[in-house]
Chains A and B, each alone.
Chain A
Amino acid sequence: MPSAGSPAETLSVEVWRGRDEGRFERFSVPHRASQTVLDVVTWIQRHAEPALAYRFACRVGVCGSCAMTVNGRPRWTCRTHVSKVAADGHLRIEPLRNLPRIKDLAVDLAPFFEKWQRAQGRFTPSRTRYDGLAEVNPDAPARKAVDAGIECINCAVCYAACDVVSWDDEYLGPAALNRAWTLVNDARDADRKGVLRAASRGGGCHTCHSHGSCVEHCPVGINPTAGIAGLKRMSLLALLGRGPE
């Protein structure tokens, strides 16, 4: 492992090793002009620590497998250029916050997806495969609201960034509620009332403190806080008998 060289040529990288108990190990990694944080982690696995555990798949920011905490912030590592986060040549890489740890940099995303389901984050059909497709005006306001939130890749960066999630185990979190928001706005969904109920009971939208950490960290620019505010509003209107059909 190269240890000589100026800071410009070498990155000093601290990596979490272990599970809940563990330590940071320091590695010197060659700095390159084109280099993402995932490339740094890969270099360590390939050249310095073969047993280093981390997760990645698509390499281009569509699968959401490779999120980690980088210098204190949750990020996709595959699309985070080193120069953006390590101006001083130093990186500290840890597993995502708010999720059970498996080993080193890999966490268990099951609780995140279980909460997605608890928010009824799934479509309820009103038609079948034997029917034609619904006519949907792409410019209708409800449809626009769906479009604004639908490109979530469930990477859990928002979930790791959210302080309310870290205080309150029951809180469903920004991604699950964002999905619920897209469903209550989807005219094709046959159980929008059910989604609203699931998303507004204990641990649901009313638990959000609107800190906006999710908005600040979402790698695809989604605004879950706005969707959650929409759910809050809609659940209050539902009490007045003016909720979704």
Chain B
Amino acid sequence: MRIEHLDTDILILGSGGAGLFAALHAVQANPDLEVTVASKGLLGKSGCTRMVQGGYNVALDPADSLERHFMDTIVGGKWLPRQDLAWRLVEGAVERVRELENELGCFFDRNPDGSLHQKAFAGQSFDRTVHKGDLTGIEIINRLMEQVWARDIKRLEEHRAVALIPAADGSGLAGVLMVDIRTGGYRLARAKAVLLATGGGPTMYRFHTPSGDKSCDGMAMALRAGLALRDMEMVQFHPTGLLAGPDTRMTGTVLEEGLRGAGGWLLNGDGKRFMAAYDRAGERATRDVVSRSIYAEMRAGRTTSMGGVYIQMSHLGPQDVAKRFPGMVTRCADCGFDLAGGRVEVVPTAHYMMGGVEFEIDCTTALPGLFAAGEDCGGVHGANRLGGNGVANSTVFGGIAGEEMAAYVAREGAWKDPDAAALDAGIVRAERPYGLKPGDLGALRERLLGLMWDEVGILRTEVGLCRGLEGLAALEAELGETGLADGDRAFNLTWHDWLNLESQIAVSKVIATAALAREDSRGAHFREDFPLTGDLDTTRFTRVIAIDGADLALDMVPVAFTTVRPGESLIDGDAGAPQTVIP
């Protein structure tokens, strides 16, 4: 098999907030370094940073504090976050937001007096979310892209990483095997330091919000390389994803939380409001509660014709709704739905993975030479991620990773000989579908999405999770027998669909394994057979590794309360309660 070779000082996998910040900070730290960004899609256009609607949490107001942001994060994460990482997040967010505004030129919304506007967001005890309307992500990623394009940073666009290749001498990572999507050929990039910043993205659920190109490749590669994943049972569901019917890419994408906050109603298939029966806050209850309630209605069969529930805004006045939520109203209209004046069918939808690769505060991992940042990583958010902490996470740690990689390269960076057996194995894996009889990959994908939704989804039980694990093993075996016709490999999305499924199944098994082990309910994880949250003082997190790249092994590891213990607080008043009513 022909392989193109390339050597670069620093290789960054992913071009969202984490990857692009890492690239900028690496060349700022040392302009002589050759930095290369590889992206599955176009630079800055794939991944989810761009999709951020809400905003960026940062304690800037003199009446706010790092301690307050930290406590909100810990309490929101149900005492599961790694506290040093959470502290680094809230501390780093201050500098990063200033960098975004002052050095990259992002313009965040202002108050009439010219000062920064910070809005209320769920689960926070201070109005601290910096934003640009409801399109904050576009502003952040556009400004980052421009700066990266402006510098001598190499781009490998439409390059899909398929394997982390260790050094032949066992001293760490040598490089990354990729498929150049445009040509269908292989490329081995050796690098002195590599950043894993591909983003997570729970796209293995029937309904999901992330960018359609995401398939947990980063976590799957890390798992195969022997790294541990933590908190993988923690998959955040957003309550209101658009339901547009079969074979629609739009299905699952988010209808924003503000709709419920503004007084929107959720109606079941009988046209009746139901949230009051589940929570006193009704439609304004938290994401996890509303998701579970909608799911319960669906399971009871009280659904719309397409199997969801309705969101209705028209009682607030269609014109007012159109004025207040123009983005959402237009998006629905483009798909043929009238959000302002009619009813739109919605379902809960898988949104974000709190879990991921275990990493250190300097973004190093257990594999020398491999760094990680962003949604590929676990430990920052714990059991739940606050809205607005996601883009803070990717940009704060992405920047740190860039600086740390530059320092690492100066200190001990060297190009290493790749392990030939690992390289061969990577190619054999990527080649697999071409040696197999073509089959119905689409049907396989539908079954994976259905299985994860039904058995490893919003409401979980031991019996269901076991069924899920059995089903995943069966799907994995079936994928191993489902091929595609060889021929034109250039830009062959169906080959990549196959590789996507392989990553998704590998990571799904970790999610189900961790969910089965966690016998309590907290944050995003709900066990119907263990509906209560366990003792906080003895909180443990799940850690999963793949032994020899295959069989999974799980540990429950005690959380070290390094800064604050359950029952203690760094602030006056309650953490996690909104300061003002969310509009």
Contact between A154 and B492 (Cβ–Cβ < 8 Å)? no
Chain A, range 52-71, C-beta contacts under 8 Å to B? 52-65
Binds A, one of B78-86, B97-105, B222-230, B520-528: B97-105
Binds A, one of B242-250, B275-283, B511-519: B242-250
Chain B, range 302-340, C-beta contacts under 8 Å to A? 331, 334-337
Contact between A135 and B114 (Cβ–Cβ < 8 Å)? yes
Contact between B149 and A153 (Cβ–Cβ < 8 Å)? no
Contact between B95 and A62 (Cβ–Cβ < 8 Å)? no
Contact between A129 and B490 (Cβ–Cβ < 8 Å)? no
Category for how many chain B residues contact A:
35 or more
Contact between B45 and A131 (Cβ–Cβ < 8 Å)? no
Q: Which of A63, A106, A122 contacts B46 (CB 8 A)?
A: A63
Contact between B109 and A58 (Cβ–Cβ < 8 Å)? no
Contact between A51 and B492 (Cβ–Cβ < 8 Å)? yes
Known: A53-B492, A62-B51. A131 touches B246 (CB 8 A): no
Binds B, one of A30-38, A157-165, A224-232, A234-242: A30-38
Chain A, range 115-143, C-beta contacts under 8 Å to B? 116-117, 121-123, 125-139
Contact between A45 and B336 (Cβ–Cβ < 8 Å)? no
Contact between B246 and A55 (Cβ–Cβ < 8 Å)? no
Contact between B335 and A53 (Cβ–Cβ < 8 Å)? no
Chain A interfacial residues counted at CB < 8 A: 72
- Is A11 in the interface zone, CB < 8 Å from B? no
Instruction: Name the B residues within 8 Å of A30 (CB-CB).
Output: 247
Q: Which of A47, A81, A134, A152 contacts B335 (CB 8 A)?
A: A81
Contact between B248 and A36 (Cβ–Cβ < 8 Å)? yes
Known: A56-B249, A123-B143. A113 touches B149 (CB 8 A): yes
Contact between B146 and A46 (Cβ–Cβ < 8 Å)? no
Q: How far is the CA of A18 from the CA of B508 in the complex (A)?
A: 37
Q: How far is the CA of A162 from the CA of B411 in the complex (A)?
A: 51
Contact between B146 and A122 (Cβ–Cβ < 8 Å)? yes
Contact between B137 and A36 (Cβ–Cβ < 8 Å)? no
Contact between B101 and A133 (Cβ–Cβ < 8 Å)? yes
Contact between B212 and A61 (Cβ–Cβ < 8 Å)? no
- Is A86 in the interface zone, CB < 8 Å from B? no
- Is B535 in the interface zone, CB < 8 Å from A? no
Closest approach, in angstroms, between the C-beta of A182 and any C-beta of chain B? Answer: 9
Instruction: Name the A residues within 8 Å of B211 (CB-CB).
Output: 57-59, 63
- Is B485 in the interface zone, CB < 8 Å from A? yes
Contact between B107 and A104 (Cβ–Cβ < 8 Å)? no
Instruction: Name the B residues within 8 Å of A154 (CB-CB).
Output: 45, 142, 145
- Is A94 in the interface zone, CB < 8 Å from B? no
Q: How far is the CA of A50 from the CA of B246 in the complex (A)?
A: 19
Known: A103-B490, A122-B147, A146-B107. A47 touches B442 (CB 8 A): yes
Closest approach, in angstroms, between the C-beta of A224 and any C-beta of chain B? Answer: 15
Closest approach, in angstroms, between the C-beta of A76 and any C-beta of chain B? Answer: 9
Residue of B nearest to A41 (CB): B249
Instruction: Name the A residues within 8 Å of B145 (CB-CB).
Output: 113, 154
Instruction: Name the A residues within 8 Å of B182 (CB-CB).
Output: 102-103, 106
Q: Which of A43, A64, A117 contacts B149 (CB 8 A)?
A: A117
Instruction: Name the B residues within 8 Å of A52 (CB-CB).
Output: 493
Closest approach, in angstroms, between the C-beta of B26 and any C-beta of chain A? Answer: 16
- Is A90 in the interface zone, CB < 8 Å from B? no
14 cross-chain CB contacts under 8 A? A36-B249, A42-B249, A57-B45, A79-B331, A102-B182, A113-B145, A129-B102, A135-B110, A135-B114, A137-B112, A138-B112, A139-B112, A152-B142, A186-B105
Name A residues whose Cβ lies closer than 8 Å to a Cβ of B. 30, 32-36, 38-39, 42-43, 45-47, 50-65, 78-81, 83, 102-104, 106, 109, 113-114, 116-117, 121-123, 125-139, 146, 150-154, 179, 183, 186, 188-189
In the A-B complex, list the 10 residue pairs whose CB atoms are closest, starting with the nearest.
A123-B105, A53-B491, A135-B114, A50-B494, A129-B99, A127-B102, A122-B146, A34-B244, A79-B334, A138-B110
